[in-house]
């Protein structure tokens, strides 16, 4: 690294920033300067921030940068210079004497603040800012971090913040007093001033053994509530009356609170806002690490300091979190933990210590339906949460869920030992969601194509159709439909996901697949592409979607029903979180029902096994009942002509279960919905060989003799399907299922040799190429399970996309679209190890071309044909 250690701050330029040539202490000093603001706000911001974090971690045991001052908190001349020469770790190697003046080099032991002049007006203006600044009128601290670095950066800022806020309160009070002095008697003003001085600031923790003072004045709570809503959460108002009421009740801290609001209704705010208002620490139990990460990310973006303690942390991360929690005034406001973690002795000790130090503000149980076997995602570890009551007595408990009926609600309250509960129950109705069910066997097109058309329609903004037509005239977007919003398609198995992506590509819908078979980084990549609207559709197993809060999901399709109605409601609830019209559709068939039946009976079988082995928790029988009930209600939902909203409302015991009149297929077109259901009921059921035989049940789903029985068909399906699960460990389980799937493949291979099975076996016969589509090196078997047909599909999708991009169907270099498509497809094929990666690569290429078409840019095909691989272009063949 060049010698930059001794440069004066003014000598650093953006060049040094980009070149990474600035020592960390200088960087800390430079960050506040406005001349670097543009850089800070762009890509380098993150880099700098990480450096900050790293730097402070090392020196002061801080674990995140969220409480560090941001560039907004300073002015150009508020230069803070840190002399770190006492810090061995960051000490530069000995250098030759330089002529450049180092403003900080005079006092090697004591870090100090250098301050340049500011006008009175600037000082006043900055006093009103959120974080304090160092002004010339103000006595600077002896050292930035206190003598001998005893005082931490966080403590310093906490003090500064407090000082500045107190000054602000006094100023405000003075202003108010002056304004009203002509009307009010002076003693009133004095009284008000005294009141305002007593204010307990958010985040301020009083001495250990003194009881912590929470805000109790209604007016004060109201004021803080509104300012936190606007300034921290950036919401103009509460989303609903119920959210407003729940927040108010929780803010008062007078009782435990049970909140049941529909999916996407803003339950998180109900506890996050009070947590910020009252300060201290709010402990949140969440069932999924993915969910926690999502919440933490969201909160950190809002500058709320939050942490997690879970099994995914490294030792260093864990000790950083703990060291903050062990401080007298921790920075952490919300601490996310798992129920499993809460049951450990170390967590119990930590909670006891926080409670003893008067730090605990709330104890929150998110997704509280996990506490009860009546819920759809029962987690035995949640049962132990109630015992923590004794550890943190007097702390208000908050339980939140979207999916609990009366039985579940009662059980949650019982299990969590909630006393004096105030319940906020909003029912499940979401008027922006349109629910419908399509019977796969009664569609006028192949079901996959039917679905693709549906998705395209949902993602094509109605209003701009005319504009699009206009645009299309003479424009290159001729064949490209403008899409807006995103879609999720839930499939049961990895194979189903991959096949669906290919099928969608043939009809011009670009999708990526997401499932446990993908490596973790590939899954993250898919999720990011979908979140950033690069690819509109994701085809996934139910592992996707948990904790995802994308506002503009316009459509959620279930390629087969969920295992129970509560899970379906939760999964479909990913749609329309921005409140706009969105669609939730299930494609259902007799064979889907049998497969589901097989899985449910498998789960029931396991529970019965457990009961026999005396490993039982005593709740198994009820769990079995809940499983059966959830499944029956799911089947009823699909197979009974009724208002879909009513079916959901009844399942959750909503008091208001009126038909929606316009938000489901039955209410908008009862005749055809009934006809479709009748046709479905009269249909025969598929046999082991795939043929249909007369359905002998008496009509209703529950009379199906196969229900919960599994049956031979189910057994045969075992290796074809991933085990669906609504449990929070779904990812792990899906991973484990891969082993089972492989065993299935082996079994099929043996069976193939014995020639004694009906299971579909991969054929060794060479595949026949389709007429009109040429695929490079078509006999290649480089990527297992990628059939010639799949490759042809991709070539054809790429050709279509390129034809739309190149107005005359020919690139500037004279290459025709089909040749270029072959080349691109080959690149994807030869660079992939498995079918999913191949699918995603090829589909992403289609998306990339389409995006460029929309932007009126020409897609350039790079690279040359893989001659040694036998590449022969279509034009050469003709």
Ligand X SMILES: Nc1ncnc2c1ncn2[C@@H]1O[C@H](COP(=O)(O)OP(=O)(O)OP(=O)(O)O)[C@@H](O)[C@H]1O
Q: Which of 740, 737, 724 is nearest to 377 (CA)?
A: 724
CB 426 within 8 A of CB 262: yes
In the numeric block, the tokens 């909160």 are attached to 299
Nearest approach, Cβ of 457 to ligand X (angstroms)? Answer: 25
Detail the DSSP E strand segments found in 189-285: 256-260, 281-285
CB of 93 to ligand X, least distance (A): 49
Q: Are 306 and 296 in contact (CB under 8 A)?
A: yes
Contact range with ligand X by CB under 6 A, out of 265-273, 705-713, 779-787, 821-829:
265-273
Q: Does 282 bind ligand X (CB under 6 A)?
A: no
Residue whose Cβ sits closest to ligand X = 266
Residue 263 touches ligand X, criterion: CB under 6 A:
yes
Sole window of 76-84, 259-267, 455-463, 691-699 interacting with ligand X (rule: CB under 6 A): 259-267
> Min. distance of Cβ 281 from ligand X in angstroms?
20
Candidate list 79, 265, 404, 874; residue touching ligand X; CB under 6 A: 265
Distance, C-alpha 255 to centroid of its chain:
30
Of 28-36, 263-271, 429-437, 832-840: span binding ligand X (CB under 6 A): 263-271
Residue 630 contacts ligand X per CB under 6 A = no
CB of 675 to ligand X, least distance (A): 34
Map the footprint of ligand X across residues 497-556, applying CB under 6 A. 549, 551
Please choose, out of 261-269, 421-429, 494-502, 513-521, the segment that lies near ligand X by the rule CB under 6 A.
261-269
DSSP secondary structure letters along 28-43: HHHTT-GGGHHHHHTH
Would you count residue 486 as binding ligand X (CB under 6 A)?
no
Distance, CA of 201 to chain centre:
31
Contacts of 359 (CB under 8 A, 6+ apart): 205, 212, 280, 281, 330
Q: Which is nearer to ligand X, 321 or 433 (CB)?
A: 433
299 binds ligand X (CB under 6 A): no
Tell me, rounded to whole angstroms, the distance of Cα 346 from its chain centroid: 29
Single residue of 115, 184, 235, 348 touching ligand X by CB under 6 A: 235
Q: How many residues bind ligand X (CB under 6 A)?
A: 16
Residue 264 lies near ligand X (rule: CB under 6 A): yes
Calpha distance 328→323 (Å, rounded): 10
Interaction between residue 268 and ligand X (CB under 6 A): yes
Give residues 562-581 in contact with ligand X (rule: CB under 6 A): 573, 577
| Cβ atoms within 10 Å of 80's Cβ, excluding its own | 21
* Cα separations in angstroms, 365 against 66, 318, 362: 25, 22, 10
Q: What is the DSSP string of 184-214?
A: S-HHHHHHHHHHHHT---TT----TTSPPPP
CB atoms within 10 A of CB 608: 14
Q: How far is the CB of 267 from ligand X (least distance, A)?
A: 4
> With respect to ligand X, which residue has the nearer C-beta, 239 or 481?
239
Let me know: does 511 contact 505? Beta carbons within 8 Å: yes
d(CA 648, CA 73): 50
- Beta-ladder partners of 582: 433
239 scored as a contact of ligand X (CB under 6 A): yes
Footprint of ligand X on 170-199 (CB under 6 A): none
Residues 786-825 that bind ligand X (CB under 6 A): none
Provide, rounded to whole angstroms, the least separation between the CB of residue 538 and ligand X: 17
- Give the nearest distance from C-beta 266 to ligand X in angstroms: 3
Which of residues 289 and 798 has its CB atom nearest to ligand X in the complex? 289
Residue 230 or 742: the one with the smaller Cβ distance to ligand X is: 230
User: Structure tokens of 868?
Assistant: 């040694």
As measured in angstroms, the least distance from the Cβ of 285 to ligand X is 14
Q: Quote the least distance from Cβ 240 to ligand X, whole Å.
A: 8
CB-facing half-sphere around the CA of 464: CA atoms within 13 A: 12
The correct pick among 269, 537, 567, 786 for binding ligand X (CB under 6 A) is 269
Considering only the stretches 232-240, 597-605, 655-663, 820-828, report the one whose residues sit in contact with ligand X under the rule CB under 6 A. 232-240
Q: Measure the CA–CA gap between 771 and 812, rounded to whole angstroms.
A: 27
Q: What contacts 667, CB < 8 A, 6 or more positions away? A: 643, 659, 660, 661
266 counts as binding ligand X under rule CB under 6 A: yes
Q: Which is nearer to ligand X, 337 or 624 (CB)?
A: 337
Q: Which of 332, 361, 272 is nearest to 66 (CA)?
A: 332
Residue 527 CB, nearest approach to ligand X (Å): 16
> CB–CB of 811/875 below 8 Å?
no
Which of 17-25, 234-242, 413-421, 429-437 is the region at the interface with ligand X (rule: CB under 6 A)? Answer: 234-242
Q: Which stretch binds ligand X (CB under 6 A): 256-264, 305-313, 345-353, 784-792?
A: 256-264
The minimum distance between CB 870 and ligand X, in angstroms, equals 51
Distance CA 63, CA 58 (A): 9
Q: What is the spatial distance between Cα 174 and Cα 825, in angstroms, rounded to a whole number?
A: 73
Question: Among candidates 438, 435, 449, 453, which has minimal Cα distance to 675?
Answer: 438
Q: Please tell me whether residue 280 binds ligand X under the rule CB under 6 A.
A: no
- Local structure of 609: helix, strand or coil: helix
Instruction: Report the DSSP pairing between strands 511-514 and 360-365.
Output: unpaired
Contacts of 739 (CB under 8 A, 6+ apart): none
Applying CB under 6 A, among 253, 267, 278, 376 the residue interacting with ligand X is 267
Query: Which of 570/677 has CB closer to ligand X?
Result: 570
Q: How far is the CB of 243 from ligand X (least distance, A)?
A: 6
Residue of 12, 55, 153, 238 interacting with ligand X (CB under 6 A): 238
CB atoms < 10 A from the CB of 615, how many?
9
Q: Is 710 in the site for ligand X (CB under 6 A)?
A: no
Q: By C-beta, is 168 or 294 nearer to ligand X?
A: 294
d(CA 35, CA 481): 44
DSSP 8-state secondary structure symbol assigned to residue 230: I
Q: Smallest distance from the beta carbon of 409 to ligand X, in angstroms? A: 15
What span, in angstroms and rounded, lies between the C-alpha atoms of 289 and 286? 8
Identify the bridge partners of residue 362 per DSSP, sorted by sequence position. Answer: 282
Residue 298 exposure: Cα atoms within 13 Å on the Cβ side:
16
Angle at 788 between CA 784 and CA 792, to 5 degrees: 130
Nearer to ligand X, 71 or 423 (CB): 423
Q: Does 160 bind ligand X (CB under 6 A)?
A: no
Q: Between 268 and 839, whose beta carbon lies closer to ligand X?
A: 268
Contact predicate 505/797, CB 8 Å: yes
Q: How far is the CB of 402 from ligand X (least distance, A)?
A: 4
Measured at the alpha carbon of residue 716, what is the angle toward residues 715 and 718, in degrees to the nearest 5?
Answer: 65
- Which one of the spans 176-184, 231-239, 610-618, 788-796 is the region binding ligand X (CB under 6 A)? 231-239
The one-character DSSP state at 467 is H
Residue selected from 261, 391, 408, 439 as contacting ligand X according to rule CB under 6 A: 261
Nearer to ligand X, 129 or 239 (CB): 239
Least Å distance, CB 335 to ligand X, is 18
Structure tokens that stand for 243 in this block: 């959210």
CB of 648 to ligand X, least distance (A): 14
Residue 402 contacts ligand X per CB under 6 A: yes
Minimum distance from residue 234 beta carbon to ligand X (Å): 9
424: three-class secondary structure by DSSP: strand
Interface with ligand X (CB under 6 A): 235, 238-239, 261, 263-269, 402, 549, 551, 573, 577
């Amino acid at each position: 690294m060049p010698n930059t250690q001794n440069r004066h701050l003014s000598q650093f330029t953006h060049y040094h920033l980009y070149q990474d040539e600035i020592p960390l202490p200088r960087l800390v000093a430079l960050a506040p300067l406005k001349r670097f603001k543009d850089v800070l706000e762009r890509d380098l911001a993150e880099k700098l921030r990480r450096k900050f974090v790293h730097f402070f971690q090392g020196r002061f045991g801080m674990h995140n940068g969220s409480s560090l001052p941001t560039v907004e908190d300073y002015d150009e001349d508020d230069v803070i210079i840190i002399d770190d020469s006492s810090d061995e770790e960051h000490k530069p190697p000995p250098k030759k004497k330089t002529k450049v003046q180092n403003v900080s080099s005079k006092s090697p032991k004591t870090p100090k603040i250098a301050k340049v002049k500011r006008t009175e007006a600037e000082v006043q203006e900055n006093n009103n800012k959120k974080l304090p600044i160092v002004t010339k009128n103000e006595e600077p601290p002896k050292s930035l971090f206190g003598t001998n670095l005893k005082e931490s950066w966080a403590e310093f800022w906490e003090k500064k913040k407090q000082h500045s806020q107190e000054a602000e309160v006094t100023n405000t009070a003075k202003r108010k007093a002056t304004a009203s002095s002509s009307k009010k008697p002076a003693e009133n003003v004095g009284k008000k001033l005294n009141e305002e001085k007593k204010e307990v600031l958010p985040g301020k923790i009083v001495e250990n053994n003194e009881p912590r003072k929470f805000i109790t004045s209604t007016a004060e709570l109201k004021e803080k509530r509104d300012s936190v809503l606007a300034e921290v959460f950036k919401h103009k108002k509460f989303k609903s009356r119920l959210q407003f009421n729940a927040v108010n009740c929780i803010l008062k801290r007078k009782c435990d609170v049970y909140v049941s609001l529909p999916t996407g209704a803003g339950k998180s705010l109900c506890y996050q806002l009070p947590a910020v208002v009252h300060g201290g620490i709010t402990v949140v139990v969440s069932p999924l690490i993915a969910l926690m990460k999502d919440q933490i990310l969201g909160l950190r973006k809002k500058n709320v300091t939050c942490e997690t303690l879970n099994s995914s942390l490294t030792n260093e991360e864990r000790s950083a979190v703990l060291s903050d929690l062990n401080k007298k005034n921790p920075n952490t406001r919300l601490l996310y933990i798992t129920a499993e973690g809460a049951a450990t002795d170390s967590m119990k000790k930590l909670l006891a210590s926080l409670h003893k130090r008067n730090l605990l503000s709330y104890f929150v149980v998110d997704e509280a339906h996990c506490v009860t076997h009546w819920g759809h995602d029962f987690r035995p570890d949640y049962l132990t949460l109630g015992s923590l009551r004794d550890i943190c007595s007097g702390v208000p408990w908050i339980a939140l869920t979207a999916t609990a009926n009366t039985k579940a609600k009662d059980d949650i309250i019982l299990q969590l030992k909630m006393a004096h509960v105030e319940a906020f129950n909003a029912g499940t109705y979401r008027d922006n969601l349109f629910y419908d069910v399509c019977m796969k066997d009664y569609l006028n097109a192949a079901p996959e194509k039917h679905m693709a058309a549906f998705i395209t329609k949902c993602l094509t903004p109605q209003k701009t159709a005319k504009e699009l037509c206009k645009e299309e005239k003479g424009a290159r977007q001729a064949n490209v439909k403008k899409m807006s919003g995103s879609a999720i398609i839930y499939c049961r198995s990895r194979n189903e996901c991959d096949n669906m992506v290919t099928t969608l590509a043939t009809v011009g819908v670009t999708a990526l697949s997401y499932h446990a078979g993908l490596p973790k980084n590939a899954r993250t990549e898919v999720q990011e592409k979908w979140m950033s609207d690069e690819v509109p559709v994701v085809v996934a197993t139910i592992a996707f979607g948990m904790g995802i809060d994308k506002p503009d999901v316009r459509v959620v399709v279930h390629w087969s029903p969920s295992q129970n109605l509560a899970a379906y409601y939760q999964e479909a609830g990913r749609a329309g979180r921005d409140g706009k019209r969105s669609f939730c559709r299930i494609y259902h068939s007799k064979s889907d029902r049998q497969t589901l039946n097989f899985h449910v009976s498998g789960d029931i079988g396991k529970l019965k096994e457990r009961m026999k082995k005396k490993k039982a928790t005593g709740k198994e029988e009820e769990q079995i009942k809940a499983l059966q009930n959830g499944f029956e209600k799911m089947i009823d939902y699909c197979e009974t002509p009724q208002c879909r909203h009513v079916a959901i409302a009844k399942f959750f015991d909503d008091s208001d279960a009126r038909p929606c009149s316009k938000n489901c297929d039955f209410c908008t077109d009862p005749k055809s919905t009934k006809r479709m259901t009748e046709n479905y009921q009269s249909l025969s059921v598929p046999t082991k060989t795939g043929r249909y035989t007369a359905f002998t049940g008496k009509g209703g789903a529950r009379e199906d003799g196969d229900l919960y029985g599994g049956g031979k068909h189910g057994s045969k399906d075992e290796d074809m399907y991933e085990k669906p699960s609504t449990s929070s460990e779904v990812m792990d389980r899906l991973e484990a299922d891969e082993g089972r799937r492989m065993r299935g493949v082996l079994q099929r291979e043996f069976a193939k040799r014995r020639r004694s099975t009906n299971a579909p076996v991969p054929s060794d016969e060479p595949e026949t190429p389709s007429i009109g589509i040429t695929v490079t090196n078509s006999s290649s078997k480089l990527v297992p399970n990628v059939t010639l047909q799949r490759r042809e599909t991709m070539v054809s999708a790429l050709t279509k996309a390129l034809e739309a991009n190149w107005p005359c169907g020919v690139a500037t270099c004279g290459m025709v679209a089909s040749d270029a498509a072959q080349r691109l497809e080959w690149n994807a094929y030869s660079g992939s190890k498995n079918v999913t990666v191949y699918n995603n690569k090829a589909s992403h290429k289609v998306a990339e071309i389409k995006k460029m078409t929309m932007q009126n840019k020409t897609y350039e095909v790079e690279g040359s044909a893989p001659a040694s691989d036998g590449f022969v272009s279509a034009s050469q063949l003709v």
